[in-house]
Amino acid sequence: MGLLEGRVAIVTGAGSGIGKATALRMSQEGAKMVVVDIVPDAGQETLATIKERGAEGIFIETDVTNSDHVERMVDTVQSNYGQINILHNNVGVGGSKSAHDTTEENWDRIINGCLKSVFLCCRTIIPLMLKNDGGNIINTASVLGLVASPKQSAYCAAKGALVLLTKQMAVDYSVQGIRINCVCPSDISTPTHQRFFASREDPEAVRRSLMERHPINRFGKPEEVAEAVLWLASDSSSFVTGVALPVDGGLTAW
Amino acid sequence: MRLKDKVAIVTGAGSSIGQESAILFANEGARVIVAEINDDAGQETAERIGKNALFVKIDVSSWEDTKRMVKSAVDHFGGLDILFNNAGIDLPYATTVVDTEISDWERIININLKGVFLGVHHALPIMMAQNSGVIISTASRAGLGATKGEAAYCASKGGVVSLTRQLAIDYGKYNIRVNSICPGGIDRPTIDRSEFLDQSVGALERRNEQIIQKVPIGRLCSPQDVAQAALYLASDASAYVTGTALVVDGGGLAL
């Protein structure tokens, strides 16, 4: 009997990286997976892997920064499964710069991708969870919502806001049976992380300095974040709500 | 005179924390750009200060307005030493995430969070060129821990706290200090929306009484309390302080 047997779980940004790892891990525990991504090929690939392993799921192409898309996505889940038990808001957008180098367009893109997307999904899905006597929401924030890093102005702003949005929602909805938490990963080896390095002038120097910030002396794996998300999504964490759980190899312990 | 010959911008300077801070900064020797969206309120603050103030009508969520605001400091007072991003709003209804209109979410995020980014973005080149500067932003106790019925507000203020830390890292090498202030137990209706919605006689007093019960120091926070914190962060007294969120809450967070 899996930890999430019979539950319906949505993972946004499930086409790659942390989202993909979470979707695969949750499906292993018996959840019916709703794979959400803006990139059809990536989402389909995640779904195919889920099905190969004998689990159930659907893929819905969605831009989670668009409220019409989000509503359509939720309608599709409802007509397929009739309920939503778990929501993992995992979509994020990188590409930050220092504040004086940040254009308005860049700021808006990152704030919308990392923050508004969570607002829109929660706003649409929480009423359904309330009708359903509860649910579970996990957001992918970041250690950059807890501490700062160079040239990450909009990203730090967005993730700090997301940490507080998580806590705020926990304060409002925990009593009604919805637990809401976030994970705060540090550097996780994902395609996004690769793109981040590629965008820097001296990728090797950036890699070294980031590695030095990790007491564990390595970067994380998406699967390690997925384990934390799974724990928060499962009944094992039934008294845990409103927390920002670092999965960071000790980065915020200094 | 702790801010002698300094040029400061204070946004939201027409009332409350912004007004007290603008006046206090001026009393300490600063020349002040009174940035405010409300004409009457901005004029009043500028008149109370006198010749060392200039009222500039702006919307902090506008790229063009914030650019003009910074330019006016340079044009009228010859530079910019202190930027106090204080303008902020809340909604007059309980904003659980489900109840929040999308347009209201955007308004709160754009004024409270993007407004800080925009002011900073335009001020930084000047501060970097002179290799000095002070940036202060009004965050909130609600940017450190959540308040019921305040989804958009908490998110926006959490963003300000986090953005502040980030700016401190990028611009420390230019001798630019960046800090936020987190007032709590403040004597204005930003706490507990549901109580605020109660308009009956005595409701405000009952609300304040409830807040005071959660404040060890036993009274509400005044705009002057926050202005004094802003003065400390603006002055050389805090020369080694950067990236912090200074809590001014009468001990509420310590409970």
Residues B177-201, mean pLDDT to the nearest whole number = 70
Is the CB of residue B150 less than 8 Å away from at least one CB of chain A?
yes
- Identify the sign of the CA torsion B220, B106, A186, A101: negative
Token duo for residue B149: 């019925």
How would DSSP label each residue in B190-221? TS-HHHHH--STTHHHHHHHHHHHT-TT-SPB
User: What pLDDT is stored for residue B196 in this prediction?
Assistant: 53
Q: Does B243 touch chain A (CB under 8 A)?
A: yes
Say yes or no for a CB contact (<8 Å) between B100 and A119.
yes
ipTM (interface pTM): 0.90
User: Exposed, middle or buried: residue B50 (CB in 10 Å: 0-12, 13-18, 19+)?
Assistant: exposed
B95 pLDDT higher than 80? yes
Are the beta carbons of A99 and B145 separated by less than 8 Å?
Answer: no
Question: Higher pLDDT residue, B203 or B189?
Answer: B203
A12-57 tens-digit pLDDT: 999 999 999 999 999 999 999 999 999 999 999 999 999 999 999 9
Spot the catalytic one: B153, B171, B232, B240: B153
Residues of A whose CB is below 8 A from B151:
119, 165, 168-169, 172
- CB of A161 closer than 8 Å to CB of A92: no
* pLDDT above 90 for B191: no
Token output for B93:
């209804």
* Interchain pair A100, B169: CB under 8 A: no
Asked if the C-beta of B114 comes within 8 angstroms of chain A's C-beta atoms, the answer is: yes
pTM score:
0.93
Q: Is the pLDDT of residue B121 over 80?
A: yes
Do A115 and B109 lie within an 8 Å CB cutoff? Answer: yes
Check pLDDT > 90 for residue B67.
Answer: yes
Q: Looking at residues B4-20, what average pLDDT do you find? A: 97
Check pLDDT > 90 for residue B79.
yes
Which has the closest alpha carbon to A157: B199, B226, B66, B162? B162
Instruction: Give the active site residue among A59, A119, A155, A219.
Output: A155
**Which stretches of chain A sit within 8 Å of chain B by CB?**
67, 98-100, 102, 104, 107-108, 111, 115-116, 119-120, 122-123, 126-127, 144-145, 147-154, 156-165, 167-173, 242
Residue A189: CB partners within 8 Å, gap ≥ 6? A219, A220, A221, A222
Q: Which stretch of DSSP H or E encloses residue B160?
A: helix B151-171
Residue B199 banded pLDDT, cuts 50, 70, 90:
low
The answer to whether the CB atoms of A161 and B159 lie below 8 A apart is: yes
What pLDDT score was predicted for residue B198?
A: 63
CB proximity B151 to A under 8 Å? yes
Rounded Cα gap, residues B106 and A111, in angstroms: 11
Q: What is the spatial distance between Cα A34 and Cα A80, in angstroms, rounded to a whole number?
A: 10
Whether A81 sits among the annotated catalytic residues: the reply is no
Place of tokens 């540090």: A186
A148 and B243: CB-CB below 8 Å?
yes
Identity of the residue in A99, A123, A159 whose CB atom sits nearest the CB atom of B100: A123
